[in-house]
Amino acid sequence: MEKLRDNFGRTFPYIRLSITDVCNFKCGYCLPNGYFKPSNAPGFLNIDEINNLVEALSCLGVSKIRITGGEPTVRKDFFDIIKIVKNKKNIHNVVITTNGYKLNKIADQIVDNKINGVNISIDSLNAETFRKVTGHDRLNQILEGIDVLQKKGFKNIKVNAVLLKGINDNERDFDQWSEFINKKKIDFRYIELMQTGDNLNYFKKYHVPSSVFKDYLNRNKWNSIDRVSDAGPSINYVSPNSNGKFGIIAPYSRDFCKSCNRLRITAKGELRLCLFGNTGVNLRPLLKNSSQKKELLNLILTQLRFKKESHYLEIGDTGATPHLASIGG
């Protein structure tokens, strides 16, 4: 089996697969005006195309697939897609990222379909702040969803928040999360706000370096731990006084790209080598039929040669990404 490997010796056991650009939330940094369907836009990959795609990825040594969006759970065939991905030979780890709005309704299916992990985005534990950031007064509904999932014995839950200046970046917020993760035995990560094509003004107003949270962790004696090979980009911290872990995802940090182990595929079937790259190739013409598998494998392998060593975010080059709902974050 030929493995996905780039010119810099990095391997790619991890794919983030977006299945829709549609989202029902209006997060200020992502889709502040909600999702609008561009006219004449092609539809999202259908279930047969996803099957052919995932079959090829399995042949390329991919072991982990994260299903994301937009909001992936808005798709009616969401669990049919999960079943297909779960059924592929080498893919041992099928996880999802969701805004959690219907977790309470789908908790049973998450457990029954043996999804390996759920990341839920919650920017604040303060209901009013949550509403201001997302445009939706649904914090309690989402927290209830977490409780339902935990009551069913589901273990691998992580909560992510985007770190936002003056919104969720003070000691009180950090203490609140600390209490939450200890009580719920859940891991929590702050993601540093990223600049995208559409959010420059928001970025200028709300970006704060993740070092403010790192300083808090150091002050409170949290210790960083090593990452495993198909893990996400988070640097994780543990404390003997907590049942949960903290993490920081800092895309602007110097060494962030060195440990890159993932590729992205958009909901319309474009392979993106970097969240912030300008290069992408449309795989869709080769997803129509399972007989195209060899060509598809070749195309993906050839594309990897074009993966750059690093993004250029720090000089404001956001690449082809207008907002992260268009690529799955």
Binding site for ligand SF4 (CB under 6 A): 23, 25, 27, 30-31, 69-71, 99, 121, 325
Q: Which does 160 bind (CB under 5 to 8 A by kind): ligand SAM, ligand SF4, none?
A: ligand SAM
Letters for 115-144 (x = contact with ligand SAM by CB under 6 A, - = none) are: ------x-----------------------
- Going by the DSSP 8-state scheme, the letter that residue 328 receives in this structure is T
Pick the closer one to ligand SF4 by CB: 56 or 327: 327
| Distance, C-alpha 255 to centroid of its chain | 19
Q: In the bound complex, what is the minimum distance in angstroms from residue 99's beta carbon to ligand SF4?
A: 4
Strand arrangement, sheet containing 187-192: 223-225, 235-238, 246-249, 187-192, 157-163, 117-121, 93-98, 64-68, 14-18, 262-265, 270-272, 280-282
Q: How many CB atoms lie within 10 A of CB 320?
A: 15
Contact (CB, 8 A) for 140 and 100: no
Tokens in use for 102?
Answer: 């219907």
Contact (CB, 8 A) for 267 and 51: no
Q: Which does 266 bind (CB under 5 to 8 A by kind): ligand SAM, ligand SF4, none?
A: none
Taking contact as CB under 6 A, which single stretch among the options 178-186, 233-241, 304-312, 320-328 is the one that binds ligand SAM? 320-328
Does residue number 329 form part of the binding site for ligand SAM (CB under 6 A)?
A: yes
Pick the closer one to ligand SAM by CB: 98 or 178: 98
Please report, as residue ranges, which positions from 215 to 244 form the binding site for ligand SAM (by CB under 6 A). none
Tokens in use for 289?
Answer: 């039929």
Distance CA 90, CA 96 (A): 17
| Distance, C-alpha 291 to centroid of its chain | 31
Q: How many CB atoms lie within 10 A of CB 239?
A: 17
Does residue number 29 form part of the binding site for ligand SAM (CB under 6 A)?
A: yes
Tokens in use for 214?
Answer: 């790192």
Q: Which does 318 bind (CB under 5 to 8 A by kind): ligand SF4, ligand SAM, none?
A: none
Among 6, 55, 71, 173, binds ligand SAM (CB under 6 A): 71
Among 162, 273, 274, 286, binds ligand SAM (CB under 6 A): 162
Exposure string of 170-203, with b = 16+ CB inside 10 Å and e = fewer, is eeebbeebbebbeebebbbbbbbbbbbebbeebb
Pick the closer one to ligand SF4 by CB: 72 or 277: 72
Q: In the bound complex, what is the minimum distance in angstroms from residue 162's beta carbon to ligand SAM?
A: 5
Taking contact as CB under 6 A, which single stretch among the options 63-71, 103-111, 179-187, 308-316 is the one that binds ligand SAM? 63-71
